Amino acid sequence: MPPVSPAVAPSGPPPIGAAIRDRRRRLGMTLQALADASGLSVPFLSQVERNLAMPSLVSLTSIAGALGVEMSYFVGAPSAGQIVRRGDEPEYLQLGGAPVVYTLLSGRHEERKMEALLIAIPPGISSPVAHREGEGFWYIMEGEIEMWLGQEHFLLRAGDSAHFDQRHPYRMRNGSEREVRMLWVGTPPLL
C-alpha cells in the first residue's frame, strides 16, 4: 500500500488579521479611526492586523462593531452559496446599455478581491474608453476582438489572453461578424 500524505491542518486559531485589515481598508478607515471607534489602541490593532496578537472575544466584538459587521464575519466560513456558482443557475448582469451579455462567475463573499465574468459580445459592438484601479485579464474563448491599451493596438483571437493594468486607458471592439465569448477577470470587484 502506498504511503498516505497527511493533510496539512492549520495549527492554532485561524488568522483574522487580514480580514480585519481588508474590511477596514474597504471602508476607507485608518487604524486611528478604527482605534477611536473600537476603543482599542492603534499599536494593538496593528499587531492584530499582522497576526502578531489575537484579540479577546470582547476586543473582537468591539472591532466588529466599529467595522459594521457581526463577529462571525471574522471567524465563520462563507456559506456554499457565496463560494460555489452552479452552471445551471447563471446570474446575468446588466452593465451599460449595450446588448452585451455578462454572466457572473465569481462568488459573492464579502471580501472578494476580484470579479470573474463570461462576456458575450455581439458583432459590431465597441466599448468606450475606460480605466479603473486594478488589473484586468481577458481570455478569448471564441471569435476575435480588437483591443487598444494606451496607444497600443492588439487583435486577440480564440486562445489569446491579455493581462494589463487597468489604470491605462483601454477599449475593445468586435469588428467581426461573429459573437465573441471571453472570460474577464478583474480587480477590484465590479459589484
| Pair (126, 159) in one structural domain | yes
- CA gap 119, 139 in Å, rounded: 10
Q: What is the pLDDT of residue 188?
A: 83
User: Which residues are CB-neighbours of 27 under 8 A, at least 6 positions away?
Assistant: 67, 68
- CA gap 83, 64 in Å, rounded: 22
Domain at 118, CATH number: 2.60.120.10
- CA gap 158, 110 in Å, rounded: 33
Q: What average pLDDT does the chain have?
A: 85
| Pair (100, 58) in one structural domain | no
Q: What is the pLDDT of residue 12?
A: 46
Q: How confident is the model at residue 82 (pLDDT cuts 50, 70, 90)?
A: low
State the residue range of the domain holding 180. Answer: 81-186
Specify the 3-state DSSP secondary structure of 148: strand
pTM metric for this prediction: 0.63
| Pair (120, 181) in one structural domain | yes
Count: domains in the chain: 2
Half-sphere exposure of 169 (CA within 13 A, CB side): 7
Q: How confident is the model at residue 100 (pLDDT cuts 50, 70, 90)?
A: very high
**Model confidence pLDDT, tens digit, residues 15-70:** 788 889 988 988 899 999 999 999 999 999 999 999 898 898 899 999 999 999 88
The residue among 20, 50, 51 whose CA lies nearest residue 38 is 20
Question: In the chain, what is the straight-line distance between the N-terminal and C-terminal CA atoms, in Å?
Answer: 50
Q: What is the pLDDT of residue 2?
A: 45
